[in-house]
Chain A
Amino acid sequence: MSTHSLHTPRDTDIGTPGSAHGHDSRRSYRIGVALSILLTVVPFWLVMSKALPNPTATAAIIFVLAMIQIVVHVVSFLHLDTRSEGGWTLLAFLFTAVIVVLTIAGSVWVMYHLNANMMPMPDAAMGPMH
């Protein structure tokens, strides 16, 4: 029992990160709120006010802002970090992100080239098939 009293300061030491974590998560939430509002308003403003004459540049900026906003939401609102659930949530998220990118980018890429390489088919050619 006497050894327990020796460890008491250590116990309080360990207690502090817990409360600091709560404080950190509130702070991360508030930063997330501010950033998410900004990252929502800017793309709408860019498109609705036609601020940039070049649509490709507008699309590129919107794409980058959307990616940033997804990361902000995942970190501040879903509290994804390297520690939660022993790192398994992060691993599952990264795996999902790889599959999502492969599915979307792969489909769009392949089907675009498929369309571009298709022989143009006049309506007359389709006649006998019906």
Chain B
Amino acid sequence: MTDRMGDIRETDIRWHPTEMEEHDHGGGATVLGFWIYLMSDALIFASLFAMFGVVSSSYAGGPGPRQLFDLPLVALNTALLLASSITFGQAIPHMEAGRVGPTRTWLAVTGLLGAAFVGIEFYEFAHLVQEGAGPQRSAFLSAFFTLVGTHGAHVTVGLIWIATMLVQLGQHGLTGEMKRRIICLSMFWHFLDIIWIGVFNFVYLFGVIR
């Protein structure tokens, strides 16, 4: 009998820490739900990558990747987005320790790097349109603008989310809800960097090798 009591208590103890851990990370259900959203977003990008893959050599007599893509600029953009992913990772331990100041600083740095990324992408798109290589020029360019533009739109949404977090951190501090929001935002931001791995390798680098 006493043995059995001991068994029950052991299982009790074994389960409690995991529950506590979930509360610490701000609600397991939300994080899992957000993960499912990211996976469905990955499917949207999969269909855009598939479309780009199918028409990636349909230039319709227009310019191809070798004439259009400026690799040093793409390398700079890739570096900016990767750096922003790393700076977001710097904010997380400060957030978990409840330090509002450093969390805001690292989030702001992440936002600035992200804004620079979007700015350079706008410049690149404007430059292409100016050269007569807009989305209406060929199937290749339509697919390129759709894929890269959808990624850029996601990064822009991420920037709005970062700005919102910076304001709300000032208003509420690091409450449980705020931690949960920032954890979801960090997943979103890292996810966008993973999509960019596909973009810079399979759109830009593959295009130039071809």
Question: Which A residues contact B (CB, under 8 angstroms)?
Answer: 3, 7, 10-11, 14-15, 18, 22, 26, 29, 33, 36-37, 40, 43-44, 47-48, 55, 58-59, 62-63, 65-66, 69-70, 73-74, 77-78, 85, 88-89, 92-93, 95-96, 99-100, 103-104, 106-108, 111-112
Chain A: which residue is nearest B25 at the CB level? A84
For the A-B complex, the count of residue pairs with Cβ-Cβ distances under 8 Å equals 118
Whether B51 sits at the interface, judged by CB under 8 Å, is yes
What is the total number of residues of chain B having a CB less than 8 Å from a CB of chain A? 50
A96 touches B42 (CB 8 A): yes
In the complex, besides A15-B17, A77-B193, 17 extra interface pairs with C-beta distance below 8 angstroms are A3-B9, A33-B86, A33-B89, A40-B78, A43-B201, A44-B71, A48-B72, A63-B201, A66-B197, A73-B190, A77-B190, A85-B31, A96-B40, A100-B42, A104-B49, A107-B54, A108-B53
Whether B209 sits at the interface, judged by CB under 8 Å, is yes
List of 10 A-B pairs having minimum Cβ-Cβ separation, nearest first = A107-B50, A66-B201, A77-B190, A96-B39, A100-B46, A108-B53, A111-B54, A103-B46, A85-B32, A104-B50
B53 touches A104 (CB 8 A): yes
Secondary structure of the B side of the interface? helix
Known contacts A40-B82, A99-B43: does B53 contact A107 (CB below 8 Å)? yes
Q: In the complex, A47 Cα to B78 Cα: how many Å? A: 15
8 A-B pairs whose Cβ atoms sit less than 8 Å apart in the complex: A40-B82, A44-B71, A70-B197, A78-B191, A85-B35, A88-B32, A103-B43, A108-B50
Chain A residues with CB below 8 A from B46, complex form:
99-100, 103-104
Q: In the complex, A65 Cα to B198 Cα: how many Å? A: 11
Q: In the complex, A100 Cα to B54 Cα: how many Å? A: 15
Whether B13 sits at the interface, judged by CB under 8 Å, is yes
Q: In the complex, A29 Cα to B91 Cα: how many Å? A: 12
Whether B202 sits at the interface, judged by CB under 8 Å, is yes
Q: Which of B43-73 touch A at CB < 8 Å?
A: 43, 46-47, 49-51, 53-54, 71-72
Chain A: which residue is nearest B89 at the CB level? A29
CB distance from A83 to the nearest CB of B (A): 9
Q: In the complex, A78 Cα to B85 Cα: how many Å? A: 11
Chain B: which residue is nearest A4 at the CB level? B9
Q: In the complex, A65 Cα to B9 Cα: how many Å? A: 49
Chain B residues with CB below 8 A from A112, complex form:
54
